[in-house]
């Protein structure tokens, strides 16, 4: 009987375990995780803090007993993997509750080790109440602090997805928010003009956005910024980035790629064919350029789990490149993107042209409509779409989803004209914003 060991029991680890069991009823599957919870919806944690999700326990998708009962998968929490002994095909595990260590043999090892929040080295940071948000436990700590200490102000370092989502949810709780971002514009993966729209929406809702600066010194609740300004914050949230957890792989001699993730082949195998890696700690490839790419988001991890399961049962499906499709709620607006931004295109050395369409989400005479800005980059010769971004009210997600489908299918920007999309006044216009991009691209 084949022995499959999985390190990590959150999105990627729990999903790959379940996917393997769906196809393979015989193998013994054991999952280890150093945390005290498994298979939780990490993307929902900001909204549980802001009480948009009233019951935080609804984020818990499974527990060890249900995994054992329904799928015959053993999950051991508070167990940390210390070392991979490749020559012996075993992992050294430490029981964090008892301190006991033991070697767990494997035929197949899957690394779903995720990533850890980066905490910058800031003078005096230990004098303050500082949190990160990377786990269910982190969420519980933040909620407990807010409930017990009743803070009036917060400084969030980093205006990426977590930073922006936390800014909104803390404002919903009545907490004053300073959002400090080292780069010149928020959500640095966006084009500057689209970032400006996000910043405007944040400011319109009372978030004090400070770009091009960072926290340089901390003295309790007094924070000194790199430009010399000082602000007060009852607590801080660090969301400056994620470091992939690759220590196990590195110690085992598995190659780490230029993005910092574990190098994987078309079937998510590492350089050791008996060891797979997926999720935040794995390196993959960009669909447009083929260059190395690491996407710490939920969709890639879930897709990679399926690919590993199929490979293990001898019905392999090679992975495609990743686009990095992503979306975020910004108060009453939405920002979404896919593919390459303008900066990414320039760094890749590709030629490009751009179409920007500003219009309504649906018929302007219908009472429930909103404004959209849809921006699409494409190659001037092949006419293939390189990337897109959309900001506005309703309908942002479906426009980006259509662009994703077009890019995956290899359609040209002019092909967008011919897409026969749904139309009725509550939903779109006779010529959808997607169609308009296709028309506008014609010289």
The residues annotated with a catalytic role in the active site are 43
Q: DSSP code of 415?
A: G
Closest CA relative to residue 336, chosen from 304, 288, 297: 297
Q: What are phi and psi of 195, to 5 degrees?
A: -60, -40
In terms of DSSP H, where are the helices of 286-362? 298-312, 342-348
In terms of DSSP H, where are the helices of 103-246? 136-149, 161-172, 192-204
Q: Alpha-carbon distance 377 to 132, whole Å?
A: 35
Q: Which single residue is written with the structure tokens 């091009």?
A: 212
Question: ∠411-443-408 over CA atoms, to 5°?
Answer: 10
Residue 43: both structure tokens together:
């993307």
Q: Alpha-carbon distance 393 to 375, whole Å?
A: 15
Closest CA relative to residue 277, chosen from 258, 300, 291, 78: 300
Chain centroid to Cα 116, Å, comes to 12
The residues near 176 (Cβ < 8 Å, ≥ 6 apart) are 152, 153, 154, 206, 208
**How distant, in Å, are the alpha carbons of 169, 178, 217, 285 from that of 230?**
24, 11, 9, 42
């Amino acid at each position: 009987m084949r022995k499959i060991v999985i390190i990590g029991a959150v999105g990627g680890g729990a999903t790959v375990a379940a996917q393997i069991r769906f196809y393979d009823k015989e193998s013994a599957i054991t999952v280890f995780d150093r945390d005290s919870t498994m298979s939780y919806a990490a993307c929902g944690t900001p909204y549980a803090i802001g009480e948009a999700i009233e019951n935080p326990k609804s984020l818990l998708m499974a527990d060890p007993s249900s995994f054992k009962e329904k799928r015959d998968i053993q999950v051991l929490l508070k167990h940390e993997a210390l070392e991979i002994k490749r020559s012996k095909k075993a992992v050294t595990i430490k029981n964090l509750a008892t301190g006991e260590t033991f070697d767990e043999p494997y035929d197949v090892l899957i690394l779903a080790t995720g990533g850890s929040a980066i905490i910058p080295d800031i003078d005096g940071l230990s004098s303050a109440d500082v949190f990160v948000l990377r786990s269910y436990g982190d969420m519980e700590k933040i909620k407990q602090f807010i409930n017990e200490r009743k803070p009036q102000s917060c400084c969030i370092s980093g205006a990426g997805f977590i930073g922006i989502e936390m800014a909104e949810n803390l404002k919903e709780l009545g907490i004053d928010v300073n959002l400090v971002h080292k780069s010149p514009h928020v959500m640095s993966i966006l084009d500057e003009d689209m970032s400006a729209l996000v910043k405007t929406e944040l400011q319109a809702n009372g978030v004090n956005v400070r770009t091009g600066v960072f926290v340089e010194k901390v003295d309790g609740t007094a924070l000194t910024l790199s430009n010399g300004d000082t602000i007060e914050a009852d607590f801080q949230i660090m969301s400056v980035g994620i470091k992939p957890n690759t220590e196990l792989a590195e110690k085992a001699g598995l190659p780490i790629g230029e993005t910092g993730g574990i190098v994987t082949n078309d079937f998510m195998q590492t350089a050791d064919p008996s060891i797979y890696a997926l999720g935040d700690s794995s390196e993959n490839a960009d669909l447009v350029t083929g260059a190395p790419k690491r996407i710490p988001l939920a969709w890639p991890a879930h897709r990679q789990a399926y690919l590993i399961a199929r490979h293990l049962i001898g019905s392999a499906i090679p992975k495609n490149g990743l686009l990095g499709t992503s979306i975020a709620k910004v108060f009453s607006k939405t920002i979404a993107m896919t593919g390459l931004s303008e900066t990414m295109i320039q760094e890749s050395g590709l030629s490009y042209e751009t179409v920007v369409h500003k219009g309504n989400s649906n018929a302007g005479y219908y009472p429930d409509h909103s404004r959209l800005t849809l921006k699409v980059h494409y190659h001037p010769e092949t006419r293939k779409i390189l990337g897109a971004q959309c900001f506005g009210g309703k309908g942002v997600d479906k426009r980006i989803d259509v662009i994703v489908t077009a890019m995956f299918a290899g359609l040209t920007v002019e092909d967008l004209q011919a897409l026969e999309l749904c139309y009725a006044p509550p939903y779109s216009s006779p010529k959808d914003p997607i169609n308009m991009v296709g028309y506008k691209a014609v010289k």
